[in-house]
Amino acid sequence: MRSGARRQAGARRGLALALLLCAVQGAAAQEGAAGGAADADRLRQAVRADYVLQCAGCHRVDGRGSSPHGIPDFRQSVGAFTHLPTGREYLIRVPGAAHSQLSNAELAAVLNWVLGEFSAAQLPANFQPYTEAEVAAARPNRYDDVVPVRHKLAETLSSMGFTLSDYSYGSDRKP
Ligand code: HEC
């Protein structure tokens, strides 16, 4: 009897221990997932802050820019550039982006954020986010004159069925 009781007690302890382990593992897994989501959220906030500080002075917090001041609207437009390799590069090399104080990694993150936030519907289905390496490779190649580059891209994209937002910068030189 005594040994049976001990065995039962032992079995109960074993079961209790197993449940406790499950609970701890479950909690750890949940904490891990919540931690990951919190980290991703913090990162998104940091990238948004970079956009607000470095870009929104001209492009506005909601991305609408200011056509009378030559600042194009990002909304439902800027994503279209990523359908062309030269367009992908343009987003990095455009003076406001290339000359910003952001590091290459930060600029890659801001461009990805801008595209997702303001123009997700214009992105290709297989859109590959910008990486630090891609930004680092294209960024030093500054344009002598960005205006004809933008007009050429608009022409090509328009033949592919994309309508870009109005571009009044350098409008005295419109083709
Ligand atoms: C001092 C004002 C100013 C700031 C700050 C600025 N931009 Fe711009 N941005 C412009 C102007 C003006 C244009 C249009 C002329 C041109 O193409 O450079 C433009 C154009 C662009 C375009 C091309 C959009 C299109 O439809 O052709 C992108 C992309 C862009 N900016 C990204 C950025 C990013 C990213 C930042 C922040 C890191 C930034 N800009 C900061 C003024 C600014």
Residue range 13-27: mean pLDDT, rounded? 50
Q: If you take atom 29 of ligand 1, which residue's CA is the nearest one?
A: 91
Q: Is pLDDT of 115 > 60? A: yes
Give the mean pLDDT of 29-57: 86
94 burial (CB, 10 Å; 0-12 / 13-18 / 19+) is middle
Q: Residue 63 in contact with residue 118, Cβ under 8 Å?
A: yes
**Nearest-angstrom CA–CA distance, 77 and 164:** 5
Confidence of residue 4 (pLDDT cuts 50, 70, 90): low
The rounded mean pLDDT for the chain is 87
Q: Where are the domains of the chain?
A: 2-54, 58-173
- pLDDT at residue 168 in the model: 87
Residue-wise pLDDT for 22-41, tens only, equals 444 444 455 566 778 899 89
Which atom of ligand 1 is nearest to 50's Cα?
A: 38
How many Å lie between the centroid of ligand 1 and the Cα of residue 159?
Answer: 24
Class of domain 58-173: mainly alpha
Atom 34 in ligand 1: which residue has the minimum CA distance?
Answer: 97
Q: What integer pLDDT is reported at residue 164 of this predicted model?
A: 96
The reply to whether ligand 1 has any atom less than 6 angstroms from the CB of 147 is no
**pLDDT score of 165 more than 70:** yes
In this prediction, residue 27 carries a pLDDT of 47
Residue 109 has, within 13 A of its CA and on its CB side, a CA count of: 16
Render pLDDT for 122-139 as a digit per residue (tens, 0 to 9): 999 999 999 999 999 999
